[in-house]
Amino acid sequence: MVLLLFVDLDPQLAALGALGGFFALRTGVPPHGLPRTLAHAYAAPRPGTPEDADDDPTALRRRAPHDDPVAFRVRKVADGIGAPEPRVAASVAQQGLAARLWSIALGSAVVYGRLPDLDPELLHWDPDAGAPDDLWLAEVRARPVADLDAMVRAGHLVPLNAALRSRYRVAPALLWGNAGSALAGAVRQLDRWALAHGRPEAGERAGTLAAGLFAHPDLAGTLDPRTLRRRSCCLYYRVPGGGVCGDCCFDRPPGRAPGPS
């Protein structure tokens, strides 16, 4: 059993910055003009908004990021990677945000033994920023590590996935595969950090916590337990010039013949 140490959360969550860019989190009163919270982003589009508006690049570019953050982010990702269809950009955007949320929560559990409350009403998100996703926590208040699953999977990924499924028809298995892949990626990064800093127990702690998270039906079976390769594809191979990810279920992009041996 891995014992958790308890360290007070500092107001700047400074220890997270040392873990890498996906773990860092800005805190305090957000600057004026920062887009609204993730709770707003997850909310259903306003009544009367045509469902096909997300496929109209001109209409989306006329909107400010805070008007419809999810649609704005998907369009920004699509423009950046040259996605051939909205669901590819939706998949890439969702995996990026999932990676940030898992990293912040798991990193906090490892270095503090506590979690900052990542309530969607407290987390501000700038969908017009680059990668990793720009998040700002308005208030730092501690929650126990036992709340990790409820905070990230239930509190963020369930409503995020629902919004993307309804608007872009992305398969649930793909989105939960993205979430599982992002969680495994956070564990790998924490394990590398732990070994580099002579703290192998921190890497063990991250792995133990992740194993508990993967026990939930939403995440169970998303990765092969022996190889940690995912059992679904994020569709990145459909991006011009894109290939398969390191943990992809495919050995090569579907439809492409193998190269010369």
pLDDT digits (tens, 9 = 90+) for 160-218: 999 999 999 999 999 999 999 999 999 999 999 999 999 999 999 999 999 999 999 99
Q: What is the DSSP-derived secondary structure letter of residue 1?
A: -
Contact 136, 123 (CB under 8 A): yes
Question: pTM for the complete prediction?
Answer: 0.88
Residue-wise pLDDT for 236-260, tens only, equals: 788 888 787 876 776 677 765 444 4
Determine, yes or no, domain membership for 54.
Answer: no
pLDDT of residue 226: 84
Determine, yes or no, domain membership for 3.
Answer: no
Tell me: pLDDT of 84 over 70.
Answer: yes
Determine, yes or no, domain membership for 201.
Answer: yes
Helix (H, G, I), strand (E, B) or coil at 18: coil
Q: Provide the domain limits for residue 184.
A: 14-45+59-238
Determine, yes or no, domain membership for 108.
Answer: yes
Determine, yes or no, domain membership for 154.
Answer: yes
Provide the mean pLDDT of the chain: 86
Determine the average pLDDT of the residues in 137-166.
96
Could you give the number of structural domains in the chain? 1
**Which residues are registered as beta bridge partners of 115?**
143
Determine, yes or no, domain membership for 180.
Answer: yes
CA distance 19 to 105: 12
31 pLDDT band, cuts 50/70/90, is: confident
Single-letter amino acid code for the residue at 65: P
Residue with tokens 């509190």: 155
Tell me: pLDDT of 122 over 60.
Answer: yes
Helix (H, G, I), strand (E, B) or coil at 220: coil
Determine, yes or no, domain membership for 217.
Answer: yes
pLDDT of residue 175: 97
